[in-house]
Amino acid sequence: MVDGISTAAGADPTKFIAFNISKQRFCIDIMSVREIRGWTPATPLPHAQSFMRGVINLRGGVLPVVDLASRLGFPMNEPTARHVIIVAELPGQIVGFLVDAVSDIIEISPDSIQPTPDVASTMAKDFVRGVIAADKGMISVLRTEKLAPGNLLDAAA
């Protein structure tokens, strides 16, 4: 049992990076995470979607940074030195997700992920793969491929 989460013996556990956004807990599959880095001010892009913070230099490459709070419908906060960028490798692109803080690495069984409740909107169900009951409250498992900037229309469909 990790963080109060049952790791059933019948299924191979998967590791997730857990993080906080607006006093709520979320996680993504650790296999999509390339690195976690401190907040770096981003260069805004004209006519970008509201959840796009802009771009930063990542070892000579351009990394788009998505404000995950805004992308998920929470109020956008001004980043501080305590915020971090989770650099994730998604199919066809690398994206930085701005979050309040990374809390831990959790290992859970796929059987522990419960479906997104029917009370959630269609867009929420597109972003959230499921939820995990933990000692410290619920953790939403995000679908990183739906959070990338190029997938705005996919998520709204």
**Tens-place pLDDT, residues 130-140:** 999 887 789 99
- 6 in any annotated domain: no
Say which residue the tokens 């981003």 belong to: 42
Chain mean pLDDT for the chain: 84
Range of the domain at 115: 14-151
Which pLDDT tens digit goes with each residue over 16-34? 999 999 889 999 999 999 9
- Per the domain annotation, does 3 fall within a domain? no
Helix (H, G, I), strand (E, B) or coil at 75: coil
For position 139, which CATH number holds?
A: 2.40.50.180
Confidence (pLDDT) at 146: 86
- Look at residue 143 and give its three-state secondary structure: coil
Which of 13-22, 55-64, 136-145 comes out lowest in average pLDDT? 136-145
Q: Are 124 and 141 in contact (CB under 8 A)?
A: no
Within a domain: residue 7? no
Residue type, 57: N
Q: Determine, yes or no, domain membership for 69.
A: yes
User: What is the signed CA dihedral for 23, 129, 113, 25, rounded to 10 degrees?
Assistant: -10
Using alpha carbons only, how large is the chain's radius of gyration in Å?
15
pLDDT of 123 reads 66
Q: Give DSSP secondary structure letters for 81-141.
A: TT-EEEEEEETTEEEEEEESEEEEEEEE-GGG-BPPPTTS-HHHHHHEEEEEEETTEEEEE
* Residue 156 included in any domain: no
Mean pLDDT of 135-157: 70
Counting the structural domains of the chain, the total is 1
Share of the chain above pLDDT 70, in %: 84
| pLDDT given at position 84 | 97
Task: Specify whether the CB–CB gap between 142 and 126 falls below 8 A.
Answer: no
Q: Is residue 128 part of a domain?
A: yes
Top pLDDT among 154 and 72 is at 72
Residue 10: closest CA among 134, 112, 140: 112
Smallest CA-to-CA distance from 28 within 122, 157, 144 is with 144
Average pLDDT of 54-63?
94
Residue type, 20: N
Give a yes or no: residue 2 inside a domain: no
Identify whether 9 is part of a domain.
Answer: no
70-117 pLDDT, tens digit per residue, is 999 899 889 999 999 999 998 888 999 999 999 999 998 888 899 887
